[in-house]
């Protein structure tokens, strides 16, 4: 089941993100950042356990980013990531956001939803708010993808 994250979920969100951050697949996020952005997060819960997470972060009236998509390794391939991304896209539509983007190492996954490869220059709000502070800024290998939602 997918639902909005609650305060009690923060340690679980942190653990899932940390697992992928240690592998260099996702950027690390501290507890402070997760608490601060908690309303952005969705969790996928099964039998009382959080097994997948994703967030939709709003940058401006017409732009939001799908971030922190992660599913526990033993639950991959079950459509959990797909369900979480669809939930983020639906929320963006409900909010009236015209464009959703993601930075990913797996653009093919997002292309299934109609995303297309883009250029980071289309997302200056992201680049100048976050990317410039990233340790991988000059060596970023993530592929930007975007979707027109309306």
What is the chain's pLDDT, residue by residue, as a tens digit (150 residues)? 999 999 999 999 999 999 998 998 887 889 999 999 999 999 999 999 999 999 999 988 899 999 999 999 999 999 999 999 999 999 999 999 999 999 888 899 999 999 999 877 676 555 545 544 455 545 666 788 999 987
CATH code for the domain defined by 2-148 = 3.40.630.30
**Strand partners of residue 73:** none
CB 60 within 8 A of CB 20: no
Q: Give per-residue burial for 50-89: e unless 16+ CB within 10 Å, then b.
A: bbbbbbbbbbeeebbbbbbbbbbeeeeeeebbebbbebbb
Gyration radius from the chain CA atoms: 14
**C-alpha closest to that of 65 among 150, 132, 2, 126:** 126
Q: Are 143 and 117 in contact (CB under 8 A)?
A: yes
Q: Are 57 and 99 a contacting pair, CB within 8 Å? A: no
**Residue boundaries of the structural domains of the chain:** 2-148
């Amino acid at each position: 089941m997918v639902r909005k994250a609650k305060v009690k979920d923060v340690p679980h969100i942190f653990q899932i993100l940390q697992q992928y951050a240690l592998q260099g697949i996702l950027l690390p996020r501290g507890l402070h950042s997760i608490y601060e952005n908690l309303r952005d997060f969705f969790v996928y819960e099964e039998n009382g356990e959080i097994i997948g997470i994703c967030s939709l972060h709003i940058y401006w009236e017409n732009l939001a980013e799908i971030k922190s998509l992660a599913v526990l390794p033993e639950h991959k391939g079950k459509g959990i990531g797909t369900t979480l991304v669809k939930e983020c896209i639906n929320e963006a539509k409900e909010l009236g956001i015209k464009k959703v983007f993601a930075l990913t190492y797996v653009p093919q996954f997002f292309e299934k939803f109609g995303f297309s490869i883009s250029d980071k220059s289309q997302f200056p709000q992201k680049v100048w708010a976050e990317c410039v502070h990233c340790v991988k800024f000059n060596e970023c290998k993530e592929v930007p993808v975007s979707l027109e939602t309306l």
